[in-house]
């Protein structure tokens, strides 16, 4: 597939290269391809850091985290900072460019790299987009919060004079265009380190204690270590080229953090600007359409129930109707919060609405208010003589054991202390979505 039209005249020069859908569950990682493209285009400078943009986590054809990449090449000027090392050579990112890169060279080299590294025989459907201007920001918002059709994307690419190349259906053009369209409102950074090719597929050598220390000593980083289970969350479980990735808010602190991890020697590393941990995927509205993620207010409508496998289901009422929310087994101790909720509790909940069964997969919640929970401690005293009473069962009411008179008083109850308090709750590090804003970033 190839979509081409003449480039627009642009106020500020740029040569944007975006790509997606190159990997498979078995191998590769689209971020690794970024290092190969940077290497292959080393005659040019990177303008701004590479961008790793996560899109709607509900798209059914994602491999893992629905991430797409966008790079900008040119001749750099102004301030520059080191943002990576590839094969022992430093990689710099410049604030501005005085000349953009040659479009034909960038297209030819990027196409060769995508062809070389994409796992098309394992189901990848790669897309590459080259453009001197960005698609409209709406394209990003639609792709991070909803579902997009290829036609609307190609129409926008034609409008801005972008070139799109696809392989095996080229579905990746959608993600690539959305990554290019991203204008950060909120942003984070990730340093990803890559393994030497001869080690791909072998167990990763990473010292967990150093990951724990990094997590403790660098508070601007997040999602590093699951302290409760003693497990690191920075390395993937697949045989891909990634050694580990550390995420954070402050690019300088992030470098110190990532370099403090003791591990096998990486072949390369690169810092990405990202929408990870921003909640950009959440629509602030009661859930209606499946395949989207929502941030909404609701009231607990009944007690939770636990299914075989440990998944916990909680019925709630929203302004758009009744809904079952789910805290799945991998969310571990987060399920205890859900189990502790009682009918009438007021919540702000966040998560993805699934089609079948129609359930909202909880990814975070705020307990706004709790109802008073009471339990029966004894039958009422007789209102006539003060004696003890006996329940009349289904007939209702109580009869005094002393004077024999009947009464309809309620039983005597006591307040049961609630096991949770108002506040925010989230699943443990290992069960979080890439886009979910960790509570530590919100405070
Ligand atoms: P990884 O994170 O390991 O790179 P992945 O999870 O990103 O893999 P991909 O192989 O990139 O998975 O597959 C995602 C596919 O979904 C891409 O082809 C992308 O273009 C497409 N896509 C992404 N967001 C949307 C959307 N909102 N609507 C339609 N298609 C989308």
Does the Cβ of 21 fall within 6 Å of ligand 1?
Answer: yes
Residue to mutate, 21, 32, 170, 434, ligand 1, most ligand atoms under 8 Å from C-beta = 21
Residue, of 13 and 146, whose pLDDT is higher: 146
Would you tell me how many other CB atoms lie within 10 Å of the CB of residue 422? Answer: 13
Does the Cβ of 174 fall within 6 Å of ligand 1?
Answer: yes
Give the mean pLDDT of the chain: 94
Does the Cβ of 34 fall within 6 Å of ligand 1?
Answer: no
Residue 393, burial from CB neighbour count under 10 angstroms (0-12, 13-18, 19+): exposed
Does the Cβ of 23 fall within 6 Å of ligand 1?
Answer: yes
User: Which tens digit of pLDDT belongs to each residue from 52-84?
Assistant: 999 999 998 888 899 999 999 999 999 999 999
Does the pLDDT of residue 13 top 70, yes or no?
A: no
Nearest residue to 241 via CA among 21, 33, 20: 33
The torsion of the CA quartet 192, 195, 201, 207, rounded to 10 degrees, works out to -80
CA distances (Å), origin 406, targets 291, 385, 394: 58, 11, 14
17 DSSP 8-state letter: E
CA distance 185 to 77: 25
114 DSSP 8-state letter: H
Residue to mutate, 68, 175, 272, ligand 1, most ligand atoms under 8 Å from C-beta = 175
Segment holding 138, helix H or strand E: helix 137-145
Residue to mutate, 1, 18, 19, 20, ligand 1, most ligand atoms under 8 Å from C-beta = 20
CA distance 381 to 194: 74
State the first-to-last Cα distance of the chain, in angstroms, to the nearest integer. Answer: 46
Cis peptide before 28 (omega within 30 of 0): no
Nearest residue to 100 via CA among 144, 143, 130: 130
Does the Cβ of 380 fall within 6 Å of ligand 1?
Answer: no
Question: Which is it for strands 389-391 and 321-327: parallel, antiparallel or unpaired?
Answer: unpaired
161 DSSP 8-state letter: T
pLDDT > 70: what percent of the chain? 97
Query: Of 6-15, 282-291, 303-312, 368-377, which gets the smallest average pLDDT?
Result: 6-15
Neighbouring-strand partners of residue 359: 324
Does the Cβ of 64 fall within 6 Å of ligand 1?
Answer: yes
Does the Cβ of 148 fall within 6 Å of ligand 1?
Answer: yes
User: Which tens digit of pLDDT belongs to each residue from 386-397?
Assistant: 999 999 998 789
- The atom of ligand 1 lying closest to the CA of 124 is 10
Mean of pLDDT values over 118-123:
89
Largest CA distance in the chain: 101
pLDDT band at 4 (very low <50, low <70, confident <90, very high): very low
CA distance 70 to 271: 13
Does the Cβ of 33 fall within 6 Å of ligand 1?
Answer: no
pLDDT band at 28 (very low <50, low <70, confident <90, very high): confident
CA distance 40 to 117: 13
pLDDT band at 26 (very low <50, low <70, confident <90, very high): confident
Residue to mutate, 57, 59, 156, 239, ligand 1, most ligand atoms under 8 Å from C-beta = 59
CA distances (Å), origin 151, targets 68, 70, 118, 156: 19, 21, 23, 9
Does the Cβ of 168 fall within 6 Å of ligand 1?
Answer: no
Does the Cβ of 143 fall within 6 Å of ligand 1?
Answer: yes
Cα 155 to ligand 1 centre (Å): 19
- The atom of ligand 1 lying closest to the CA of 20 is 11
Cα 271 to ligand 1 centre (Å): 21
Cα 62 to ligand 1 centre (Å): 5
- The atom of ligand 1 lying closest to the CA of 173 is 20
Does the Cβ of 181 fall within 6 Å of ligand 1?
Answer: no
Cα 354 to ligand 1 centre (Å): 17
Does the Cβ of 126 fall within 6 Å of ligand 1?
Answer: no
Question: Whole-prediction pTM value?
Answer: 0.93
User: Which domains, and CATH codes, for the chain?
Assistant: 2-183 (3.30.70.2200), 189-274 (3.90.600), 282-372+419-442 (2.40.50.1010), 374-415 (no CATH)
Cα 433 to ligand 1 centre (Å): 15
pLDDT for the residue numbered 158: 98
**Please, are residues 204 and 261 in contact by the beta-carbon 8 Å criterion?**
no
**Please, are residues 211 and 257 in contact by the beta-carbon 8 Å criterion?**
no
- The atom of ligand 1 lying closest to the CA of 56 is 27
pLDDT band at 221 (very low <50, low <70, confident <90, very high): very high
Does the pLDDT of residue 5 top 80, yes or no?
A: no
Can you give the three-state secondary structure of 221-290, one letter per residue? EECCEECCCCEECCCCCCCCCEEEEEEECCHHHHHHHHHCCCECCCCEEEEEEECCCCCCCEECCCCCCC
Question: Which is it for strands 412-415 and 67-86: parallel, antiparallel or unpaired?
Answer: unpaired
């Amino acid at each position: 597939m190839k979509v081409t039209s003449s480039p627009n005249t642009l106020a500020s020069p740029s040569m944007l290269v975006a790509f997606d859908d190159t990997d498979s569950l078995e191998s590769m990682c689209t971020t690794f391809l970024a290092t190969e493209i940077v290497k292959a285009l080393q005659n040019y400078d990177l303008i701004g850091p590479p961008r790793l943009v996560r899109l709607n986590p509900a798209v059914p054809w994602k491999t893992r985290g629905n991430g797409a990449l966008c790079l900008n090449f040119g001749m750099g000027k102004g301030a520059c900072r080191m943002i990576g090392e590839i094969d022992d050579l430093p990689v710099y990112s410049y604030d501005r460019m005085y000349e953009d890169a040659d479009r034909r060279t960038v297209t030819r080299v990027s196409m060769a790299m995508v062809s070389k590294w994409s796992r098309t025989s394992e189901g990848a459907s790669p897309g590459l987009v080259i453009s001197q201007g960005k698609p409209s920001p709406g394209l990003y918002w639609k792709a991070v919060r909803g579902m997009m059709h290829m036609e609307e994307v190609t129409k926008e690419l034609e409008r801005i004079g972008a070139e799109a190349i696809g392989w095996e259906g080229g579905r990746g053009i959608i993600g690539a265009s959305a990554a290019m369209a991203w204008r950060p409102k909120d942003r984070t950074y990730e340093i990803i380190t890559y393994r030497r090719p001869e080690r791909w597929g072998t167990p990763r050598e990473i010292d967990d204690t150093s990951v724990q220390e990094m997590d403790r000593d660098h508070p601007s980083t997040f999602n590093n270590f699951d302290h409760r289970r003693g497990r690191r969350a920075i390395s993937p479980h697949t045989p891909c080229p990634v050694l580990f990735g550390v995420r954070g808010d402050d690019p300088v602190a992030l470098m110190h953090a990532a370099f403090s991890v003791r591990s096998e020697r990486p072949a390369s590393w690169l810092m990405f600007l990202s929408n990870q941990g921003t909640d950009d995927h959440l629509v602030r509205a009661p859930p209606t359409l499946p395949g989207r993620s929502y941030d909404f207010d609701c009231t607990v409508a009944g007690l939770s129930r636990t299914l075989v496998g440990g998944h916990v289901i909680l019925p709630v009422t929203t302004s758009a109707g009744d809904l079952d929310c789910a805290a799945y087994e991998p969310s571990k101790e987060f399920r205890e919060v859900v189990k502790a909720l009682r009918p009438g509790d007021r919540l702000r909940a966040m998560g993805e609405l699934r089609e079948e069964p129609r359930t909202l997969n909880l990814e975070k919640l705020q307990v706004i208010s709790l109802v008073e929970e009471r339990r029966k401690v004894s039958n009422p005293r007789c209102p006539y003589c003060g004696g003890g009473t006996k329940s009349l069962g289904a007939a209702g009411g109580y009869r005094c054991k002393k004077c024999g008179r009947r009464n309809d008083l309620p039983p005597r109850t006591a307040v049961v202390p609630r096991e949770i308090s108002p506040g925010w709750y989230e699943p443990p590090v290992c069960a979080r979505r890439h886009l979910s804003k960790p509570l530590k970033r919100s405070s």
